[in-house]
Structure formats: structure tokens, C-alpha cells
Structure 1
Amino acid sequence: MPSVVSDGVTIDYLDEGEGPAVLLIHGFASNRMVNWVNTSWTSQLKRAGYRVLALDNRGHGKSEKLYDPARYRAEMMAADAIAVLDGAGVEKAALFGYSMGARIAAFAAVAAPDRLWALVIAGLASNLIAGIGGSESIAEALEAPSVEDIPDEAARAFRVFAGQTGGDRQALAACIRASRQAFSAESAASIRVPTLVVAGENDDIAGSADELAALIPGAKALTLPGRDHMSAVGDKLHKSEVVAFLDAARL
């Protein structure tokens, strides 16, 4: 797989298919394989006529691991996404982020609006603005000697997931401890590319897709019936609606 150096950090990425480019940005403690390849997103997008780029975020997958929370600020990770476009020779792409990746995609859309032709914000909706707590408990769970030592159920789930994805738990703890810069309603209102906001009906992490979409000019919202944060990722309706949105945006 190709890689690019972004601000001194090596970022590994996948680059497959032909057509308008779509850059996929995965969620916390995941990686491009788990979030996008194993869920058939990459194959479906390629069949639909898109060139698919999917990076491993810094600290994740095959990208460089960092252990200082200051190296995981949102604007730095957004710059990594744009650096992948540069490395791949892509002038404009649709950015599609899930959960933490949605936050990164939103920051990239504000920082480099000329590099996007569309934006999909999924797995993080109104809580992109409102914020999400529990970062320190998740970091402590990642650093705990064993799963049995973690009393917080939600934090324990992240520890188990990190084990399933083969994540570097120390790097992930640094990532989750990073200072969370606010993404304001004003920032959302400044987005000018076609935007789709997606969240599962039962996803307490994401919040409301309708509420975030209402802040972004012309944005559309999709709520996935009966889906939570984990089950929304590979949902069939999710895939078909994203492809239809991209097809319309590329016209």
C-alpha cells in the first residue's frame, strides 16, 4: 500500500479503483480494513464507479504510532487526510468519515474547502457540535492491565474493540486524550459542498442527524432505523443511500 509523510508522520493508505475520488476516514480504534474493507464499503464504491482512498489515521492500523496527545489534534489529523489526496495526486475528493473520522472530515472540509466535491459525516451527528464525554475513562481502560479491571461498561467496550482490531493501546490512549477542539455551529454553517449526515436511530454517540444537517446549508440527513453506533457502519441502507448521494453530487 502507498504512504505519505504528513508533518513528519507516515500515513499509510489504500488506493483502488477508477473514477471520481472518495476518501474514507475511519473511526477511533478502528482502521481502514475493519471500517471500510471488511464491511464491503470499498468494493461497493468501486463497483459504483469511484476511485477509493482509505487511510489509516495516525496512531492506527499501519500508520505511524505517536504517544503524545498533542500530536492528535483534529486539525493535524485533517491535514493528514489532505496530505493523502496530495500523495495520490487527487485534486478533489468526496470525504466520508465515520465517528472520529467524521470529525476529521468536518475539520478538513472547513480547512480545505477547495479539495472537496462532497462530504459524508456518519456516526457523529449533533454530538459533533455538542461534544462527547468519557475520554479519560476510555484512555484508562486502554491502559488497564486486563479487561476485568475495567468497571465502566462503555470504556470496556472500546478496550475490547481495540484488542479485536490489533490496535496499539498506548497510542490509542494518547489519541483519545487529545484536546478536543470545538466544532462550532458557525463552522458547520460555513460548509458549502453537498453534505449528507448519517446516524443510527439508536446511536447515542452520534446524536441526531437531522439536528446537524439543519446547521449545514443544503445538507441532507439519513437516520438508520434500529441501528446503533456499531451496527450502522455496514448497514445496507447506509451503503445504498451514500452511493445515491455521491452519484447525485458528482453530476
Structure 2
Amino acid sequence: MVRAAPRGPGARRVPGDPAAAPRLRRGPPPAGHLTIGDHARACAALLRELGVERAHWVGHSSSCCMGLQLALDAPELVAGLILYEPAQPAGPLRDELVPRFVRPALAAARAGDTATAFDLFLAGMGGEGYREGLRERLGDDGIAAAVRESAFFFTDEFPALRAWDFGPAEGTRITAPTCVVAGTGTRPWFREDVELLAAMVPGAEAVTLPGLDHMAPLTHPHELGVLIARAVRSGTSASAPAEPAPRR
């Protein structure tokens, strides 16, 4: 679902009613490797095909990187960036701690054991109880589909993330208003990465949401939705709720 920026010349809103949205169908995996730049170009092409002149990009983990690349390649399309716990750029804590579970997850994926790779990776990123949130939102069939489709992530998207380069030089080129978000209940490297990215992008705001972790887009959609709405309305700033949020 794509929502255009509600303000500014030429901006319009794509209808939010699910009945008005096009039906999405799963297609076959891409025939070849896709870089982060390839993903960004595909999103730019989609926006132009829809006639969306400016859009707010809401990203989570690796899709934050795609949004940043889009903001570099086609800044005229990006009205703002709201980035929840981006996968890159990485700070010292990520470099130290993440390989402890990523390496065995990738080894399992290379051996064809996608289920074990999925479990190792998400337990490392989201905590040992990550399946509770997945099951509540997706059900057992949804989890099974997620496991199957994660094969593309391990074989293609994760290598693309590793190869993607974003540092201070790229950060200074981001002109879209940027809000970078982490939860207090998340793995420590995500908060470090948020501070690192916010320092690279001129005028970026770093926001911390009480009680949330890396699985928050599934477990706390309301809290993230409130923050996103505030960021879109203000164009620059978002504020966090004062009290820790219960699981929803």
C-alpha cells in the first residue's frame, strides 16, 4: 500500500480503504540478484506508475536502507523518511554481537534448512519470544509462509545489505525530513545504529519508543502509527508516548 504525501504541490493520497486497494499476488522470485539500488529503483518506478509525485517512506529494518537509497537516487519522490530500527549503517555493537547468530543462520540457509535459519535469525533480532507476536498477527499459516519466503532474504536480500554502502558522505546528501526510531526494549545495537544514522543525516530526529522491540511493526502497530502520523503532519518531528506500551 502506498500513501502519497498529504501536502505539497502535486501531492495526493492513495485510498486507504483496503477494498479500494489493488489486490496483491505473490509472484515468482526474481530471476537474478537484486541490489539495494535495484529495490529502490523498483519502488521509484511503482510510484511513478501510480502517479504519486511525493511519498513518505516508512521503513523497517532492511527496507529503511531501500528508502535511504531512494532518497539519494530520486529525492524529488521522497517527502519524508520514517525509519524504524534500520539494518544499516552498523555501529560497533552490531559488528560485535550480530555475527553470533547471523553466521549460524546463514549456514543453515546454505544447507537448505530455511526453518532453522528463520528461527535463529529472528530470535537473535527480536528475542526468544518472537513467535508469539508472529502467531498473534499472522497465525500458523502465516508463519509457515514467512518461513518459506525468507529463503529469498537469506540468499539475496541479506547479501545485498552487506554490499550496500552508506556513510557520512551519503548521509549529508539526504534532504528529506528524517525521523529514525528505536524501541527501549530492542537489542542494544539498534539504538546505537539509530543514533549513528541520525548523526549522519542533516536535521534528522532520533526517537525512542518505550517498551518496543524489533518486532514492533507486528506487535505495536498503533503506537508506530501514531508516531508516523505525527511525523507526516509535522514534516520534521515526532514525539514518543510517555508510558510503555502493552502488546497489542
Short-chain TM bin: 0.5 to 0.7
Residues paired across the two proteins, number: 204
Query: Are 1:137 and 1:152, in contact at CA under 8 Å, matched by a contact in 2?
Result: no
Unaligned runs of 5+ in 2: 126-130, 135-142, 237-248
Q: CA deviation at 1:124?
A: 1.2
d(CA) in 2 for partners of 1:21, 1:146: 41
SS class of match (2:235): helix
Query: Does residue 1:141 correspond to 2:141, yes or no?
Result: no
Query: Does residue 1:183 correspond to 2:166, yes or no?
Result: yes
Which residue identity lines up with residue 49 of structure 2 in the other structure?
Answer: G
Query: Are 2:118 and 2:150, in contact at CA under 8 Å, matched by a contact in 1?
Result: no
Which residue identity lines up with residue 233 of structure 2 in the other structure?
Answer: D
Unaligned runs of 5+ in 1: 1-13, 24-44
Q: CA deviation at 1:247?
A: 0.8
Query: Does residue 1:206 correspond to 2:190, yes or no?
Result: yes
d(CA) in 2 for partners of 1:17, 1:104: 17
Query: Are 1:67 and 1:174, in contact at CA under 8 Å, matched by a contact in 2?
Result: no
* Distance verdict in 2 for CA 1:169–1:245, change over 3 Å: closer
More helix by share: 2
Query: Are 1:78 and 1:107, in contact at CA under 8 Å, matched by a contact in 2?
Result: yes
Alignment of 1:51-200 (within 5 A): 62-66=26-30, 68=32, 71-124=33-86, 127-130=88-91, 133-134=98-99, 137-142=104-109, 143-145=111-113, 147=115, 153-154=120-121, 163-165=144-146, 167-175=148-156, 176-178=158-160, 179-200=162-183
Q: Match of 2:227?
A: 241
Query: Are 2:72 and 2:174, in contact at CA under 8 Å, matched by a contact in 1?
Result: yes
Alignment of 1:218-233 (within 5 A): 218-231=203-216, 233=218
* Distance verdict in 2 for CA 1:235–1:108, change over 3 Å: same
Which residue identity lines up with residue 62 of structure 1 in the other structure?
Answer: R
More strand by share: 1
d(CA) in 1 for partners of 2:66, 2:104: 22
- Per-residue CA deviation, residues 184-217 of structure 1 (Å, 9 max, x unaligned), is 1221121111111111123236333333222211
Identity among equivalent positions (%) equals 19
Q: CA RMSD of the aligned region, Å?
A: 3.9
d(CA) in 2 for partners of 1:236, 1:200: 14
Q: CA deviation at 1:237?
A: 2.9
SS class of match (1:96): strand
TM-score normalised to structure 1 length? 0.64
d(CA) in 1 for partners of 2:124, 2:21: 28
Q: Match of 1:42?
A: none
TM-score normalised to structure 2 length? 0.65
Query: Are 1:93 and 1:116, in contact at CA under 8 Å, matched by a contact in 2?
Result: yes
